Structure 1
Amino acid sequence: MKKITTSIVSLGLLLALMPTPSIANNATEWQQRLTELSESRSRGKAHLQRNQYRNPVETLMFFGIEPQMSVLEIWPVRGWYTEILAPFLKDEGQLTIAHFRLDGSNNAGEKSVFWSRLTNRLEQRILQQEATFGQVSRVALDPPNFIPQLAADQFDMVLSFRNVHIWDQAGHLRATLENMFRVLKPGGILGMVEHRAAKVTELTSYAVEGYTDEAYLIAVAEAIGFHLIDRSEVNANPRDTKDYVKGVYTLPPTLALGQEDRDFYQNIGESDRMTLKFIKPQDVDSVD
């Protein structure tokens, strides 16, 4: 009897997740709009060249983004995804970005100063190009805390692109994910893309600087209360051997070794990345 019940529940969940014809039609329109935005010349040549590695349309469609959603983008830095998300959401939805603190206190040293400078540039760009970006709300994320603190259960979707390794290295991964869980609505989606460590066996992996073990990240998220509902290989790169002297930063776009073997690393392309889709269960209540 238990097996039959489980099968019925699983079938019900599967049917609930299947798109209706109207949703499928809308999805086609949304995909077309995302494609237009991702391929717009206004993004500049450098950003457009990265489409082949970051696959923005496929990634956002995989996460299930819709134009009426309230979306929180974590640490947008140069705004590579922001310049797609903001125009997509500006008429019906709302984009909020959680940027680096402008006083450079997220991390000590040169990286902090650099990230804060890029954050300030994006801030100015959003203000100057309001017709393009719309009314983008802004807060800071000083891991693990949002400044000012965000209310619980307010976002349909939280997106994080290649940030996990920074939080984990600083010892803030679990607490930062807990705050993301808190601000998501029940039934809300957490979409994450991250540099993926090399897998040795089903239980072990090795990681040089900048890479994170996929099973480890899933385990941390699920321990908090997230449920992994899907994963995609859209951002995978089998050419990435993940064994470089300067870690992931050896590869483009950083190319940390400068001219040394530059063509070799350019040929590899950007890093191999996991793309994970989590949900905050409907029956969970968050408290401030």
Structure 2
Amino acid sequence: MRSLLLLASAAALIAVPAAAMQHDAHANHKAHDAITAAVAAPTRTATNTPRDTYRHPAETLAFFGVEPSDTVVELWPGGGWYTEILAPLAKSGGGTLYVAAPWERGLNRIKEKQTADAATYGAVKLAEFPGTGAGSKVPDGSADVVLTFRNVHNWRFGGTDKAADAFKQIFAMLKPGGTLGVVEHRLNESDDSAKEEKSGYMKKSSIVAFAEAAGFKLAGESEINANPKDTKDYPKGVWTLPPNLTEGDTDRAKYVAIGESDRMTLKFVKPAS
């Protein structure tokens, strides 16, 4: 009898982790399906979808662990390339999406989307970032995930203090254990750091330093958005490459063949305690 009890106890100990693993696998599968559906959303702009080949949105969001039920903050959404994916993703799972940018000109393109398609974008919340008091901010400790795509260089253009303050404000937005996902044009570590001030490229070490100074821990990195063809030595910076092509017709075929920039994909976490 004692042997049977020991065997039963051992089986129970094995079954609990197995059940937990099955639950996690099921949750991951559901999140994957939701992200795939959001990337395929018919509401996306037709000129945006061809850029998926460079930006790998499904793989990027999966790497950052975004789930449809999350409260997600997208910083400086610009024309809304990622918003077109994140809004239907949040809607599908009952999540919340904030878009946060300089108040309020940085949000005008998103407002246009809300007016044109309230069914898709009407629930998107608008917030000011960096916060100055001009508009409402993302409540402290409310976000599961904060995402920024190719924006850290813009904060750096305002000086190192502005960049440092941006990371501190992001840290405040997140719940303990929350994730910061960063995609940014990557400057070679051997290059002169002064290039960060005008080229649009940033060193990984610089971003990690800003994040760690704010309290974040680097939790992972991916080469999903890497592009080894990018030589990063253009007089007009990263904007020489698609989609901007600032050189116009000069060497256009060359730059189109290179494609969009070499990008680092960094995942940071706010410590749980």
TM-score normalised by the chain length of structure 2: 0.85
Distance (Å, rounded) in 1 between the aligned partners of 2:135 and 2:152: 19
Larger displacement relative to structure 2 (134-143 or 263-272) = 134-143
Question: Residues 210 and 146 of structure 1: is their aligned pair in 2 closer, same or farther, counting only changes over 3 Å?
Answer: farther
SS in structure 2 of the partner of residue 120 of structure 1: helix
Question: Residues 134 and 88 of structure 1: is their aligned pair in 2 closer, same or farther, counting only changes over 3 Å?
Answer: farther
Question: Contact 2:131/2:137 (CA < 8 Å) preserved in 1?
Answer: no
1:95 pairs, out of 90, 97, 102, with 97
1:265 pairs, out of 255, 259, 264, with 255
Match of 1:29 in 2: 30
Shift of 1:150: 3.5
Q: How does 1:121-140 map to 2 (within 5 A)?
A: 121-140=109-128
Distance (Å, rounded) in 2 between the aligned partners of 1:163 and 1:255: 18
Match of 2:59 in 1: 58
Distance (Å, rounded) in 1 between the aligned partners of 2:54 and 2:220: 20
Question: Residues 170 and 144 of structure 1: is their aligned pair in 2 closer, same or farther, counting only changes over 3 Å?
Answer: farther
Distance (Å, rounded) in 2 between the aligned partners of 1:146 and 1:182: 18
Q: Which amino acid aligns with 1:220?
A: F
Q: Which amino acid aligns with 2:259?
A: G
Q: CA RMSD in A?
A: 2.3
SS in structure 2 of the partner of residue 46 of structure 1: coil
Match of 1:141 in 2: 129
Question: Residues 101 and 144 of structure 1: is their aligned pair in 2 closer, same or farther, counting only changes over 3 Å?
Answer: closer
Question: Residues 155 and 78 of structure 1: is their aligned pair in 2 closer, same or farther, counting only changes over 3 Å?
Answer: same
Distance (Å, rounded) in 1 between the aligned partners of 2:34 and 2:199: 36
Shift of 1:39: 2.8
SS in structure 2 of the partner of residue 138 of structure 1: strand
Q: How does 1:150-165 map to 2 (within 5 A)?
A: 150-165=138-153
Distance (Å, rounded) in 1 between the aligned partners of 2:154 and 2:193: 21
Q: Which amino acid aligns with 1:56?
A: P
Larger Rg: 2
Distance (Å, rounded) in 1 between the aligned partners of 2:212 and 2:109: 35
Distance (Å, rounded) in 2 between the aligned partners of 1:35 and 1:219: 33
Distance (Å, rounded) in 2 between the aligned partners of 1:87 and 1:39: 10
1:248 aligns with 2:238: yes
Shift of 1:77: 1.1
Larger displacement relative to structure 2 (132-141 or 182-191) = 132-141
Unaligned runs of 5+ residues in structure 2 are 1-16
Shift of 1:124: 2.1
1:168 pairs, out of 152, 156, 164, with 156
Shift of 1:40: 3.3
Question: Residues 144 and 52 of structure 1: is their aligned pair in 2 closer, same or farther, counting only changes over 3 Å?
Answer: farther
Match of 1:213 in 2: 203
Question: Residues 129 and 67 of structure 1: is their aligned pair in 2 closer, same or farther, counting only changes over 3 Å?
Answer: same
Match of 2:76 in 1: 75
Shift of 1:145: 7.0
Question: Contact 1:78/1:122 (CA < 8 Å) preserved in 2?
Answer: yes
CA deviation profile, 1:206-225 (whole Å, cap 9, x unmatched): 65610001011101211211
Match of 2:213 in 1: 223
CA deviation profile, 1:241-287 (whole Å, cap 9, x unmatched): 0000100000000001011100100000000001000000011xxxx
Sequence identity of aligned pairs in percent? 42
Shift of 1:28: 2.0
Unaligned runs of 5+ residues in structure 1 are 1-15, 105-115, 284-288
